[in-house]
Structures are given as structure tokens and as C-alpha cells.
Amino acid sequence: MSVDIKTVAKIADLARIAVREEELAPLAGELNNILDWIEQLSEVNTDGVAPMTSVVEVDLPWRADKVTDGGYRDDILANAPSTEHGFFSVPKVIE
């Protein structure tokens, strides 16, 4: 499986990374090198093998239903590039 320029543009869009037109071809080349190399995995027979879900055998811990966090808005907003009236502020979303 290899990617063409169109696919690279689509992936970049999904990943929300701006890529200039002239960068697409070299990027496709780089990605294809890696994908070709990864391709060797297809020779491994994985019939009936369960995918790894966790490397250690432990149970998912459950926490009690208690309010133990929150209530520090200043700390939440402290690093934000733009805030207004206690909100995060972003360029207007048009739908």
C-alpha cells in the first residue's frame, strides 16, 4: 500500500496540519519509505491472535463518584492564548 499526493493531503487535513502544495510530493515519498518498510509485517501469520490490549495484567480501577476536582478556573485558563470573561476564546466557528 502506498500513498499518493491526494492521500497525503487528505491525511494532513484529518490531522489538521497545513502542508504547502510543494511539500506534498516529498512528504509522500517519505511516508511511502516508511510504509514500504512496515509492509514486512504482512508476512507474519496472525490468524487467531488476539490484539494486545494491555501489556500488564491488571483490572481497570474504578473511582468513587465524588467531586474531588475542579473549581480553579484561573489555573485552567492560565496558559490559554486567548480568554474572555472566563471563557476560552477561539476564532469564530461558522457552521
Partner 1 sequence: MAKYIQGATGEWEVVIGLEIHAQVLSEAKLFSGSSTKFGAEPNTQVSFVCSAMPGMLPVINEECIRQAIRTGLAMGCEINLRSVFDRKNYFYADLPQGYQISQFKDPIVGEGVMEITLDDGSTKSIGVERLHLEQDAGKSMHDQHPSQTYVDLNRCGVALMEIVSKPDMRSAEEAGAYFRKIRTLVRYAGTCDGNMDQGSMRADVNVSVRRPGAELGTRSETKNVNSIRFMMQVIDFETRRQIDILEDGGEVAQETRQFDPATGTTSSLRSKEEAHDYRYFPDPDLLPLEFSQDYVDELAKNMPELPDAKKARFVEDLGISDYNAAVLVAEKENADYFEDLLVELSAKCGQDKAKIATQAANWVIVDLFGALKKAGKPIIDSPISTAHGAELLALQVDGTISGRIAKDVFEIMIETGQAPEQIVEEKGLKQVSDTGAIEAMIDEILAENQDKVEQYRGGKDKLFGFFVGQVMKKTQGKANPQVVNQLLRPKLDG
Partner 2 sequence: MSELTRLTLAEARDGLAKGDFTAREMTAQHLKAMEQGRELNSYIVETADMALDMADKADHMIRGGNATGMTGIPVAVKDLYCTKDVHSCSASHILNGFKPKYESTVTANLWQDGAVMLGKTNMDEFAMGSSNETSFYGPVKNPWRATKADGTLDSRDYVPGGSSGGSVAAVAGHMAIAATGTDTGGSIRQPAAFTGLVGMKPTYGRCSRWGMIAFASSLDQAGPITRTVRDAAIMMESMASYDVKDSTSVERTVPNYEHALTGDIRGMKIGIPKEYRMDGMPDEIEKLWQQGIAWLKDAGAEIIDISLPHTKYALPTYYIVAPAEASSNLARYDGVKYGLRVEGDGLPGMYKNTRAEGFGDEVKRRILIGTYVLSAGYYDAYYLKAQKIRTLIAQDFAKAYEQVDVILTPTAPSAAFAMGEKSDDPIAMYLNDVFTVPASLAGLPAISVPAGLSADAMPLGLQLIGRAFDEETMFRAAHVLEHAAGFTATPKVWWGEK
Which spans of this chain sit near partner 2 (rule: CB under 8 A)? 1, 3, 7-8, 11-12, 14-19, 27, 30-31, 33-35, 37-38, 40-42, 44, 46, 49-56, 58, 60-61, 63, 72, 75, 78-82, 88, 90-94
Task: Find where cell 499518493 sits.
Answer: 4
Residues in region 34-63 near partner 1 by CB under 8 A: 53-54, 58-63
Owner of C-alpha cell 468513587 = 64
For 17, phi then psi, to 5°, come to -125, 120
Residue 32 φ/ψ, nearest 5 degrees: -65, -35
Where along the sequence are the contacts to partner 1 (CB under 8 A)?
A: 14, 16, 53-54, 58-71, 73, 75-77, 82, 84-93, 95
